[in-house]
Amino acid sequence: MDLTKVDQEAKAFHKLVETKKVKKGKGTLYTGVDLGTSSIVLSVVDEEGKFIAAAFEKAHAVRDGIVVDYVGAVEVTRRLKQDLEDRLGQTLDLAGAAVVPGADKSTKEVVQNVLEGAGFTVGKIFEEPEAAAVILGIQDGAVVDIGGGTTGISLLKGGRVLASFDEATGGHHMNLVLAGAYHLDYEEAESKKISDKKEIFPVIKPVAEKMATIVKDFLGDKEVDTLYLVGGATDFPEMEALFERVTGLETQKPDYPIYITPMGIALALLEAEDGRTDN
């Protein structure tokens, strides 16, 4: 799979996050809301699928795929929505979100309520890997999403999730290991992980190996060609080779793995709404 186009789009998206600039969009706008363990990210695409705005805030309203601070989640989402609307000079109405694969009905309802509480009309709630697959442009393979809290894996066939699994091992656990090894507090460990990647990788390697082993054990002898790594905690240059060694499978990772799910949600919503008007 050639990820060049995704990498270019994600690079531009990263710029939108960093500079807070917005682009001019055409027609109806679609907002993706990613309620994560470490942050809430909003992405906006226009009706041609161009990403025109993004907003991000660190938040701890979600843990292991469950909204643990409902009021906080609504507040942050509403603030980010307002910020985007001010910058765009236009209101945002239709939004989608995503939950961890296999989440039950009530988890989906809570996520839907968060979006509605923030003032959105909810188009659809996706499963995270489904949304990631849309932006990656893949129909088949295994999507491994490693965020702050969890390692999630989903097997996709024809764009649908066939089977999935997740376990509580993520960037948070890397921080705990680093805090212990370097005698840092949690936030210092988080900063060191990102600023001194090369130096710290050997220290967090056992955590990364555990993540790869979770994936290998889940896959067993299921038929899979390629693994795709997404989520912020996969953002180490050594990750692909490590996953290939542990699982024996070809492994690919886009340049900005942290943005894949939030971008995917907005794009998947556009596709879903397009499908609705075509039929």
Ligand X SMILES: Nc1ncnc2c1ncn2[C@@H]1O[C@H](COP(=O)(O)OP(=O)(O)OP(=O)(O)O)[C@@H](O)[C@H]1O
Among 9, 127, 130, 190, the residue binding ligand X under the rule CB under 6 A is 190
At 259, phi and psi to the nearest 5? -95, -5
Asked if 166 interacts with ligand X (CB under 6 A), we say no
Q: Which residues pair with 127 in a beta bridge?
A: 99
Q: What is the DSSP letter of 106?
A: H
Which amino acid is residue 10, in one-letter code? Answer: A
Among 194, 199, 206, 248, binds ligand X (CB under 6 A): 194
Beta carbon of residue 274, minimum distance to ligand X (angstroms, whole number):
26
Q: Which of residues 93-112 bind Mg ion (CB under 5 A)?
A: none
DSSP state of 259: G
Task: By CB under 6 A, name the one of 129, 231, 254, 264 that touches ligand X.
Answer: 231
Question: How big is the chain, counted in residues?
Answer: 279
d(CA 222, CA 228): 16
Q: Which of 25, 101, 123, 148 binds ligand X (CB under 6 A)?
A: 148
For the beta carbon of residue 44, count every other beta carbon within 10 angstroms: 27
Residues 33-52 contacting Mg ion, CB under 5 A: 36
Whose CB is nearest to ligand X?
A: 171
Which of 276, 1, 272, 278 minimizes the C-alpha distance to 131? Answer: 272
9 touches, from Mg ion, ligand X, none (C-beta below 5 to 8 Å by class): none
36: contact with ligand X by CB under 6 A: yes
Cβ proximity to Mg ion: between 143 and 155 the closer is: 143
Please report whether residue 171 would count as binding Mg ion according to CB under 5 A. Answer: no
> Is position 147 an interface residue for Mg ion (rule: CB under 5 A)?
yes
For the chain, helix, strand, coil in percent to 5 are 50, 25, 25
Question: H or E stretch including 198?
Answer: helix 197-219
Is 62 one of the binding residues for ligand X (CB under 6 A)?
yes
Contacts to ligand X by CB under 6 A: 36-39, 62, 147-150, 170-172, 190, 193-194, 231-233, 235, 258
